[in-house]
Structure formats: structure tokens, C-alpha cells
Amino acid sequence: MREILGRRRRLRFRRKARTARLEAAVTFATEWDWPVLPGVEPKATARTAEGSVCACPDPECPVPGAHPYDPGLLAATTDERMVRWWWTTRPDAPVVLATGGSAPCAVSLPAVAGARALAALDATGVRLGPVVATPTRWSILVAPYGLERLGDLLYAKDGVPSSLRFHGEGGYLLLPPSVTGAGQVRWERAPLAGSARPWLPDVEAVVDALVEASTSAPGGGSRLTY
């Protein structure tokens, strides 16, 4: 009986998680106008000594379940019917945001440095929007920026740690409540409840703190690679 009850609880939890992913994807696409698409899932039953195996063709995929594959990134859409169909047929797929254009961009850094950066930004009174966290990296969502603007901004710096990643035009970011081979994707700073569309800071407002945090974190904050 205990085994049956445990199985029922797991099934209820799985159904709830699938419903949450569908509802989140629809909200991103239709209410916030963020183009999304389903990512590739990690294979639930296939694990190596290093962790999960990705369902994509690469047997040594370094980010299992954490990237788009089929469909490709260009398929990202805000069309509700398409989004509902995707997550009805693939309920375990992570939710991938296609960054850039009119959609949010992001700057990500290892989790150790990410915690330092948020503390520094809070201390200086910088207003932040949503922050996405995985067990290994934190991503600060920012207003859309172009490569030329970003290049000018980074050129003025003495140096930019390689652990910093910039998700702009042609890039992507996983959104909660996705689950990847590395674990759960969650909000470290959730969008304000009931907001029509989350407010986003300009990249200039946050990049100094991110560079400093990545430089000062142990090992450059890069010991957590992905």
C-alpha cells in the first residue's frame, strides 16, 4: 500500500509540473510577448557517472536538456495555439526563451558570482527585474540590446571574465519551471505577481557589478561551468 501511495504522489506531482510548464509557456508567449519554444529533454532513465544523458544526437552533450534542438531556435513564437500544441505533445520539455529582438536579453554568470552580484546591486539600490537560477548559473534579464551597443560597453572595460555570458540576438535562455540534466530552473527573483510584462533594467545598469563579482569570486566564479 505504501508503494502504491508513493506512486500516486509521484504521478500527481508529475502532472502538476507538466501543467505548470504549459501555463508558464503560455503566459510568456501571450501575456508578455516573449517568443518561446520547447527545448530538448534530458533522458530520464539514462544516466552516466557525470549525470544525465541528453535526448539530442550528441552522446557527450555538455548541457543535457538545456538547449533547443528540434524545433530549432528560429521556430520560437508567441502564437498561443502553437505553444499549447508543443507542450501538450511534449509536456516534459523545458521552456526556452529566444533572446534579443524585442524579447529580453540576459547576462549570466556562475552561481557563486551571481549571488555576489545581486548583493552588490541591491547594496547600490539598482532596480532589478527577473533573475533566473539553475544549480550552476544565474541569469539577470535585461532590456534588449544590440551587439554594437554591447561591444562598445565591454570595450570600455579593462577586462571581462570568460565566465560571463551574454544572451542577445540569436541566443536563448531557459525559463522556469524547466528541469534539465543539471536540475531545476527557478526564479531567484520572480516577476512581480500580476505584472502585465516584467520590467527590465538596461544592461549598462548591471554589467559593472557582474564583471566585478565574476572577477572577485573564487576561481573567477567559474568552477561551475554550465
The H or E element spanning position 119 is helix 111-123
Per-residue pLDDT tens digits of the chain, which is 226 residues long: 555 545 555 556 567 888 999 999 999 999 999 999 999 987 754 444 455 788 899 988 988 889 999 999 999 999 999 999 999 999 999 999 999 999 999 999 999 999 999 999 999 999 999 999 999 999 999 999 988 888 888 887 777 788 889 999 999 999 999 998 889 999 999 998 766 789 999 999 998 888 888 777 665 544 444 4
Block residue for cell numbers 519554444: 37
Q: Which string of b and e fits 179-210 if b means at least 16 CB within 10 Å?
A: bbbbeebeebbebeeeeeebebbebebbbbbb
Pair 176, 186: CB distance under 8 Å: yes
SS3 content of the chain, % helix, strand, coil (to 5): 35, 20, 40
Q: State residue 226's pLDDT score.
A: 43
Instruction: Provide the 3-class DSSP secondary structure of residue 111.
Output: helix
Burial class (CB in 10 A: 0-12, 13-18, 19+), 71: middle
Q: State residue 223's pLDDT score.
A: 44
Pair 100, 171: CB distance under 8 Å: yes
Distances from the Cα of 101 to the Cα of 81, 104, 169, angstroms: 22, 8, 6
What predicted TM-score, i.e. pTM, was given to this entire model?
0.86
At 193, the amino acid letter reads: A
Taking alpha carbons only, the member of 91, 103, 77 closest to residue 167 is 103
Residues ≥6 apart with Cβ < 8 Å to 31: 196, 197
